[in-house]
Amino acid sequence: MNDTDVPLCVDLDGTLTPIDTLHESLLSLIRHAPRSVLALPAWLAKGKAGFKQCVAARARMDIASLPFRGELVEWLRSERAGGRRLVLATAANRQIAEEIARHLHLFDEVVASDGEHNLSGEGKRQALVARFGEKGFDYVGNDTPDRIVWKSSRYAIVVGDAAAVRGAQEVSNVVKVFPTQTFSLRLWVKAARLHQWVKNLLVFVPALLAHSILQPRVLLDSVLAFVAFGLCASSVYLVNDLLDLAVDRRHPRKCRRPFAAGQLSASSGIIVAILLLGAAIVIAVSVNWYFCMVLAGYYVCTWAYSLRLKQIALLDVMMLAGLYTVRIIAGAAATLTQPSFWLLAFSVFIFLSLGIVKRFAELEDARRAGKSQIGGRGYGATDLSLLMSLGTSSGYCAIVVMALYINSVDAQMLYAHHKPLWLMCPVLLFWISRMWLLTTRGQMHDDPIVFALRDRGSLLLLGMLAAIVLISI
């Protein structure tokens, strides 16, 4: 029997695409129709097939942005060009399967779940045998449930690692393998955005400025607060990336994030996010209840920002500034240090400026790409000049606050030689002006805080500020 006489049946979830369409449909539902979550128990009562039907009918999956396995798709195209019949055989709901088939222009037929029949494992095997006969088809799969289907297929084509290949070889004749990426700690580090933990160094600021950081208990509580904030923030990053999959996949850089690229599964992301949040809570409780309350407030505000407030122009950057300032308040709560008015005022203005830098950079990138707006944001290209005005003026206001503080009684009490502190003003003026200059030139491709800690010029200026403080003590 020639290959062209044998239909090639292809699994969808985990095979043609690395994602699970049901999981991502649920995430889309939560993102765009959160009230539908209340109906999930009633849908589950209809059975798995009925549940999938209800979710598919209400979810807003962006099929065009889904990641597909490029090497496999190209091979399938070559098989079809050679006269072979291709069948998309999936446990996913028919509505989603047919949308994907239309998008790829690759399949001659779709065999999928409907509201009554769930074509997973044995159900899929029976459907394909009834349609093509025992050993009357070849099958492309990736996971344990596919072993049942491979038993009735003529040949097995495996998308997976060595373990998946061994499993297929036990029940069928494996003729082709498309290797997949195995577990990688690097991917989880990237997804959790450990590089963003540098922002949490702000929790050390209150104790540093109070000159009490070298006290063992204060240092320990500051370190614990730093770790708790990092774990909490990473848990939010994971879930936020899962809820923003469609937007991220259409972004020139964010499309490479592990979840958007399909390198990590949505279900594993939810599990890890819960574990990280649990660890953050345990550590926070070990510090004190004041810190716990601040961390809880930060968590709530972060979700408010992620789900809605980041879409509201101006309020979004004010929330960003507030979330930075909360880190300072958290450090004060952890060490039972009273934060000064000067510190909080300076923090609000400087981080408002940096928040606007972040939004300006995103909008400028969109403008250069020929787009008039940022996806999921409340700004348009016409707002660039206003954002620059607000951002630079806010940064300079922070310098004014610094100047007033240096001349205050508070500074004279903390610093034996407070006059050298005046040198901080021109250094900070140069730094904030330089940050805006680089941003307008299109060279700000990261969070401004992360950028500053990677930028040689910013690190040199930070060293100068540290030297000035040491001289003044």
For 205-223, b/e burial (b = at least 16 CB within 10 A) is bbbbbbebbeeeebeebbe
Q: What is the DSSP string of 381-410?
A: GGGHHHHHHHHHHHHHHHHHHHHHHHTSHH
Work out the percent of the chain whose per-residue pLDDT is above 90. Answer: 61
Given a cut of 90, whether residue 112 has pLDDT beyond it is yes
How, if at all, do strands 174-179 and 138-141 pair? unpaired
Report pLDDT digits (tens) over 424-466. 999 999 999 999 999 999 888 768 888 888 889 999 999 999 8
Cβ burial of 124 (10 Å; 0-12, 13-18, 19+) is buried
At residue 141 the predicted structure's pLDDT band, cuts being 50, 70 and 90, is very high
pLDDT of residue 252: 78
Between the alpha carbon of residue 365 and those of residues 282, 312, 335, 384, the distances in Å are: 40, 19, 41, 11
Average confidence (pLDDT) over 97-126 = 92
CA 367 to CA 369: how far, in whole Å? 5
Q: Are 468 and 420 in contact (CB under 8 A)?
A: yes
- For 303, the 3-state DSSP assignment is helix
Length of the chain (residues): 473
Q: Which fold has domain 3-179?
A: Rossmann fold (3.40.50)
Between the alpha carbon of residue 122 and those of residues 7, 119, 129, 144, 341, the distances in Å are: 19, 7, 10, 12, 67
pLDDT of residue 100: 95
What separation, in Å, do the N-terminal and C-terminal C-alpha atoms of the chain show?
87
pLDDT of residue 215: 92
Amino acid present at 293: M
CA 213 to CA 404: how far, in whole Å? 25
- For 52, the 3-state DSSP assignment is helix
Given a cut of 90, whether residue 37 has pLDDT beyond it is no
Given a cut of 70, whether residue 2 has pLDDT beyond it is no
* 141 against 450, higher pLDDT: 141
At residue 409 the predicted structure's pLDDT band, cuts being 50, 70 and 90, is confident
Q: Which of 116-125, 256-265, 414-423 has the lowest mean pLDDT?
A: 414-423
Between the alpha carbon of residue 24 and those of residues 21, 190, 221, the distances in Å are: 5, 20, 39
Report pLDDT digits (tens) over 45-79. 999 999 999 999 888 888 989 999 999 999 999 99
pLDDT of residue 445: 72
Average confidence (pLDDT) over 181-210 = 88
pLDDT of residue 238: 93
CA 317 to CA 373: how far, in whole Å? 16
Q: Which fold has domain 185-472?
A: Farnesyl Diphosphate Synthase (1.10.600)
Which strands make up the sheet holding 156-160, listed edge to edge?
109-113, 86-93, 8-10, 138-141, 156-160, 174-179
Q: Are 11 and 89 in contact (CB under 8 A)?
A: yes
Rounded mean pLDDT of the chain? 90
What pTM was computed for the model?
0.85
For the chain, the domains span 3-179, 185-472
CA 59 to CA 50: how far, in whole Å? 14
Average confidence (pLDDT) over 197-217 = 90
- For 247, the 3-state DSSP assignment is helix
pLDDT of residue 297: 94
Count of CB atoms situated within 10 Å of the CB of 12: 23
Residue in 346, 345, 362, 355 with CA at minimum distance from that of residue 323 = 355
pLDDT of residue 306: 80
pLDDT of residue 307: 78
Report pLDDT digits (tens) over 346-399. 999 999 999 999 999 888 887 877 776 666 677 887 888 999 999 999 999 999
pLDDT of residue 414: 82
